[in-house]
Structure formats: structure tokens, C-alpha cells
Amino acid sequence: MGHVGVVSSSPSSLPFSRRFSLATARPRRAISFSILAGMNDDPIREWILTEGKATQITRISPIGGGCINHASRYDTDSGSFFVKTNSAIGPSMFEGEALGLSAMHATKSIRVPKPYKVGHLPTGGSYIIMEFIEFGSSRTDQSVLGRKLSEMHKAGKSDKGFGFDVDNTIGSTPQINTWSKDWIEFFAEHRLGYQLKLALGQYGDSSIYEKGQRLVKNMQPLFDGVAIEPCLLHGDLWSGNISCDKNGDPVILDPACYYGHSEAEFGMSWCAGFGGSFYNSYFEVMPKQPGFEKRRDLYMLYHYLNHYNLFGSGYRSSAMSIIDDYLRMLKA
């Protein structure tokens, strides 16, 4: 994952190496189509040459950047497609991504790659075919990004409450999206609580677990006076998942979507580079709610805990510091 218009504060803050930044990726080499043409059962080729309305695949170019999934650009006589494959994991992960992309696409707000097809590979594993977006070389306009994102939040609503139709992943960590009518309960159980249990099980970290549980049980005052409606969230909005197309319009990709409190979208802001113009534009469409500044670190905590569980102790101190600060603030 490379940066695309906004940068992280340090190399150590670059997470989720499974992801792909098409803006900075370059094909390493071309693969002769004759290799795939000789395969008896290639569902990717079959879809492209039927429903994809192509008559010829002219070039297949691997795109670097991921360590779990393999990404390629398929050039054809009817345009280009972006394909990700995974040789070990079934299609559920890609199905979650496709549903998220489709939900964001349906808001007709910010641009996202349109998903076309998810399926099984005959040799095991899975694939997803989606729109290939040619990224521009300019930096993302922060004010336009803020406005487009707020328009997505305003348009993407759910009458089921908080959650999503399927569980998905945040990085490679499962993200539980069981529907709930109460945001605080949802965030306590399926976001902070789930990550705290992972830390306890993986590291035996009873200290962060016990303090984190105290926070979870006492965080209600942070939401006093706030009316929370379910908004469609990208869910993992950091610099590597933000780019712009050739027209300079912002593009977001590789989501971990669910319906949640709009402020939770800023939980990765510590490596997203959101500036004043971003927030000013965002809050023109989605007005700032009382206590926003007090809740900001709470939403960052979810991602710091996830990084701790994914990448180890380097992120523990940041997570623990946030927990301790809140326990002092709440006198819990």
C-alpha cells in the first residue's frame, strides 16, 4: 500500500500490507495470455470474455503491494479490469468487500471501484473482479474529499440499525457486524470488546483487557446529548485507501464497510492526514456533534487495538494511553 495524496506520520504507522494502492503501483511484468488460454477452467477469463463483453484479453499485468492477495490488471479490447485473487481463502472475504463497494457506489457520492464478480477458483481460493480506475498523479483535494465523504454518510442510511449484512474484515482481523439498534452497545461489544478479547487471548494481556472493559462499561457519558443515526462507513479510511482519478476526483477503495456513527470514520485519522480543510468541508454537510473532540480518541482506540493484535506490541502503548486518559476523564 502506497500513499496517494496524503501521508502517514511515520513508516511505522503504515498498516495492512495486504492492501493495494493502485495509484502508485506499477506493473512488474506482462504475462502472456497464452498461459491462461491453455487452462481448462479459468472463471476469471470466462467472465471477462462473456459478461465482461470482451473478445480478447491483450495483457495481464501483476500489481505489487499485497502480501495476502494477488492483484492484477487485465487489459482487454473492451477496457481494463482489476482482479484480486487469494489461493487459500474462500470468497467470503471478497463478498464482504463487494457488498461494501456496492453500497458505497449506490450512494452516488464519492467514487469507488465498482465490483463485478466474486467466485471460487477451481484450484482453491477465490477471486474478485472489479472496475479498474486509472489514478491521477495529483494529490487528493482535502476539501473535496471531506465534502464527498460527508455526502456518502448522509446518503447511506440503514433502517436495520448499526451493523452490516455480512461480517467482513479489518485488515485480516474479523469484523463482526451483527445488527444492533443501540450504537453504544454495538461499539462496546463488536468493536472495542472484540479487540480486547483478542488481545487477552493472543497475548494474555489482562491489564489492557481489564482497563479496556472498565472503559467500555463507563463510556456512556461521552455520548450524552448526541443523536446517532446509522451512516454507511468506509470503515478503514487511511491514506493507502484514498486516491484520486485522472479528473482529480477522490476515490476510496478497499473498505471494511458497516453502518455506524459517522464520527467512527475518522478512527484511522492518525495515518490518514486529514487537515483543517477536510473537516471544514465535511462539517458543512454533516454538522459537528457536541463532544466530538472528546470521542475522537475513542474511535482511534479501535484501530490501535486492531494494530496491536495484528502487528504486535509497538501499538500497545498508544492503545493503553488512550484507555488510561479516558479512565481519568470518566473517573472510572
The residues annotated as belonging to the active site are 236
Percentages (nearest 5) of helix, strand, coil residues in the chain? 45, 20, 40
Q: Residue 245 gets which letter from DSSP? A: B
| Residue reference for cell 513508516 | 11
Residue 45 cell numbers, joined = 477469463
Q: Residue 163 gets which letter from DSSP? A: B
| Residue reference for cell 470474455 | 49
R_g of the chain, CA atoms, integer Å:
20
Amino acid at 277: S
DSSP string, 154-168: HH-B-SS-BB-SS-E
> How far apart, in whole angstroms, are the C-alpha atoms of residue 26 and residue 291?
43
Q: Residue 234 gets which letter from DSSP? A: -
> How far apart, in whole angstroms, are the C-alpha atoms of residue 146 and residue 140?
10
A 10 A CB-CB count for 67 gives 11
> Cβ distance 153 to 262 under 8 Å?
yes
Phi, psi angle pair for 120, to nearest 5°: -85, 145
